[in-house]
Amino acid sequence: MENKWEMLESSNEEREKIWRLNRTFAGDVWFRFRRKPTAIAGFVIILLLLFFALAGPAFTDYSYSAQNLEVVNIPPRMTVYDAPDGSGYLYITQALKVVWVNRDGTLGSQLKKVREDSEHSMTIYDCNGTEVGLYYGFKPYVMVDPETRVIFSSQKIWNQSYVLGTDSLGRDILTRLMYGTRVSLLVAFVAVLVNLVIGIIFGGISGYAGGTVDAVMMRIVDIISTIPLTLYVILIMVILGTGLKSIIIALGTVYWVDMARVVRGQVLSLKNQEFVLAARTIGSSVKTILMQHLIPNAMGSILVTVTMLIPSAIFMEAFLGFLGIGLQPPLASLGTMCNDATENLRSCPHQLFIPALVICLIMFAFNFVGDGLRDALDPKLKK
């Protein structure tokens, strides 16, 4: 460039133009949501959990209710003893039965008991024609050769038949976990949907009508919010009986108060804006104005409330399941799985820790997504 002071050729409009990407509101929200790693992590976890709960059962060979009493309380990682002929392993269950384990870690059937040798505190089992002894004189119980009383060499291997082990009725924990997650998410989503409908109708009417109607309706909300609602969820469960439908009804009809407050506040602030006046001028009915104009504009904060309500619904469901007033037995939810597992916490802690971990994952994921959404929808943070 020879003359550094030569005029550039840009026109005047170009110079005045604000160089900023034009984004839609949704694009803007997504842009801000995306920049928060915790929110994205939560979002991915929710997607993975949904996939796990919905598609998972197609990949397992077990059903959530089929009991197999031969393989009760088997952990994911087992201590096994070499079989005398070396073709597999032997596993001692907590009920002092011996289960055959193949070399690849899959479980076989229980060994046949031959006789009791109480003199040497041994139970003799038949293993492919040779006799093996289960020595129960001291803990931990071991497999021995009944003649020489030499302990078979032992090792730890992963359970390949039941990846997460089995519960106290011999059901596959992985399969039950998939169904449990599905039930917990289903309860939460449907209950929150019911909350949403009631809250939108109640809050929308209250906010739009204003005046005495609003005052009376808000007093009702005030009174309801002073009542300890957990007790009423339990009472409703008592009348309706345990079951999936009762939980959804109980949770759905009780927790709409927050939603109603949020919707009312939004409607109240929006209803005096010009677009509502315009809609009224062209003769739209109240229903159209509420449903077509006001609620869609309030959707941001409603969405945040929804993502915060879902974890509390899951929390409540787990709470009820844990108290034993949740679902009916063969059906599993994360709460009832935890409840079932407390009885043998000492010997099989994995039965409790696995569903508990999933509950925590769900709670974290939804809380993070809710936080992220709230920040993303807040226009004050726009950069």
- Residues near another protein (CB under 8 A) are 219, 222-223, 226-228, 230-232, 234-239, 311, 315, 318-319, 322-325, 338, 342, 345-346, 349, 352-353, 356, 359-360, 363-364, 367
- Dist. CA 72–CA 348, nearest whole Å: 11
Alpha-helical (H) ranges within the chain are 12-16, 25-34, 37-54, 173-209, 211-226, 229-240, 244-254, 257-270, 274-281, 286-288, 295-323, 334-341, 350-377
Q: Which is nearer to another protein, 216 or 277 (CB)?
A: 216
Assigned token pair, 61: 């060979």
Q: Which is nearer to another protein, 292 or 347 (CB)?
A: 347
Q: Does residue 75 have a cis peptide bond before it, meaning omega lies within 30 degrees of 0?
A: no
Shortest Cβ 281–another protein spacing (Å): 35
Could you tell me the sign of the dihedral formed by the alpha carbons of 316, 319, 321, 325, in that order?
negative
Assigned token pair, 155: 């090792």
Task: Identify the residue whose tokens are 């803990």.
Answer: 139
Q: Which is nearer to another protein, 229 or 279 (CB)?
A: 229
Shortest Cβ 255–another protein spacing (Å): 14
Q: Which is nearer to another protein, 158 or 353 (CB)?
A: 353
| Cβ atoms < 10 Å from Cβ of 85 | 10
Classified as helix, coil or strand, 61 is: coil
Shortest Cβ 382–another protein spacing (Å): 23
Classified as helix, coil or strand, 117 is: strand
Shortest Cβ 200–another protein spacing (Å): 24
Q: Which is nearer to another protein, 80 or 334 (CB)?
A: 334
| Cβ atoms < 10 Å from Cβ of 368 | 21
Q: In what order do the strands lie in the sheet with 98-102?
A: 107-110, 98-102, 88-92, 77-82, 154-158
Q: Which is nearer to another protein, 270 or 363 (CB)?
A: 363
Q: Which is nearer to another protein, 124 or 356 (CB)?
A: 356
Shortest Cβ 93–another protein spacing (Å): 20
Shortest Cβ 357–another protein spacing (Å): 9
| Cβ atoms < 10 Å from Cβ of 366 | 25
Shortest Cβ 245–another protein spacing (Å): 16
